[in-house]
Amino acid sequence: MALDTSSPSRVSAKSAAPVFQKSRNPLVWIREHIISIMAFFAFVYLLLPNAVVILFSFNKPNGRFNYQWSAFSLDAWKNICGAPGICESLTLSLKIAFLSTLMATILGTMIAFALIRHRFWGRSGTNLIIFLPMATPEVVMGSSLLTLFVNIGIPLGFWTILIAHIMFCVSFVVVTVKARLASLDPRLEQAAADLYATEAQTFWRITFPLVAPGIGAAALLSFSLSFDDYIITNFNASPASVTFPMYVWGSATRGTPVQINVIGTIMFLLAVVIVGVGQLISMSRRRALK
């Protein structure tokens, strides 16, 4: 190194020139990277609240509201069910999300198969009815279900929430599974048939495994939609059936326990792990295919 000081310095002087020029004129640099800079700020905007939720799960607030940082503490993490009613509402939400996902995934997958694999009378009408719930504001769906239940005399509570959640999840399952089904190469099934597979064998050995990721994505989507729903749920719940979003809503006026942030953080990390594992599986599969 010491022997050869002159030549590298000359090289670095040469190569440093354009870099220097760039840094001398930041406006040029900004103009060249304007889209990436805007995208960066969009990500900050998108992810800032999640960062705040995680940060404030370690807070020890003064008073009932967890809006101002005061001191670091693990109290809420050690005692997740410490806030009265929070774990009851969490259990209820998980139960409803699980059952409505199960039902909506079955019903929606059946509809998706009918729509993609069959030509039948009433197909476009079916498509319209599937599309409508996704294009209707939640407050309209919630209030119309409430009028139905009140007029027929069905008591509000667990079952009415479940009915509503299955209803609004079905459409999302249909579009997700439909997209996956439509992207399948039909020649794979034809090949199976050419190799004397029966229809049932073709379905369970070829079609279903190929559609399974779509069904899984649909199930995840409907689980999160159900778990997260406030507006429709609020119209069809009773004081005895408080879901987790209803609990959070109520706490906005009563006082926000830190445990809300802890549960938010755990949900976030769980979802990141699930999505990460899913990505890894699909990557290794793609590599195996090559």
Partner 1 sequence: MSAFATLERMEEPHPAPPPSSGRQRGRLTPYILLLPGMLWLALFFLVPMIFLVSQSLQTGSVEDGYSVTWAFSTYADAISTYWVQFVRSFAYAFLATAAALLIAYPLAYAIAFKAGKWKNILLVLVIAPFFTSFLIRTLAWQTILQSDGLVVTVLDKLGIIQVLQWLQFIPNDQLIHSPVAVVTGLTYNFLPFMTLPLYASLERLDPRLLEAGGDLYATPWTAFRKITFPLSLPGVVAGTLLTFIPAAGDYINSHLLGSTKTTMIGQVIDGQFLRVLNYPVAAALSVTLMASIVVLVAVYIRRAGTEELV
Q: Which of 279, 280, 284, 285 binds partner 1 (CB under 8 A)?
A: 279
Classify 62 as helix, strand or coil.
coil
Q: How far is Cα 140 from Cα 124, in angstroms, rounded to an integer?
A: 24
| Among residues 18, 27, 36, 194, the one that binds partner 1 under rule CB under 8 A | 36
Among 268, 277, 284, 285, binds partner 1 (CB under 8 A): 268
Q: Which amino acid is present at 80?
A: I
Question: Taking contact as CB under 8 A, which single stretch among the options 12-20, 22-30, 73-81, 117-125 is the one that binds partner 1?
Answer: 117-125
Rounded to a whole number of angstroms, the CA Rg of the chain reads: 27
CA atoms within 13 A on the CB side of 6: 0
CA distance 157 to 159: 6
Nearer to partner 1, 63 or 186 (CB): 186
Partner residues linked to 59 by β-bridges: 72
Tell me the per-residue interface mask from 16 to 35 with partner 1, x by CB under 8 A, - otherwise: ------------------xx
How many C-beta neighbours within 10 Å does residue 235 have?
21
Q: Examine residue 201 and tell whether it contacts partner 1 (CB under 8 A).
A: no
Q: How far is the CB of 95 from partner 1 (least distance, A)?
A: 16
Identify which of residues 24 and 162 has a Cβ nearer to partner 1 in the complex: 162
Candidate list 86, 100, 223, 244; residue touching partner 1; CB under 8 A = 244
- The alpha carbon of residue 234 and the mean position of all alpha carbons in its chain are separated, in whole angstroms, by 21
Q: Show the tokens assigned to 200.
A: 């049932």
Q: Per CB under 8 A, which region of 3-11, 15-23, 70-78, 126-134 contacts partner 1?
A: 126-134
- Other Cβ atoms less than 10 A from the Cβ of 264: the count is 18
The yes or no reply on residue 13 touching partner 1 (CB under 8 A) is no
* Site track 138-177 with partner 1 (rule: CB under 8 A), x = hit: xxxx-xxxxxx-xx-----------xx-xx--xxx-xxx-
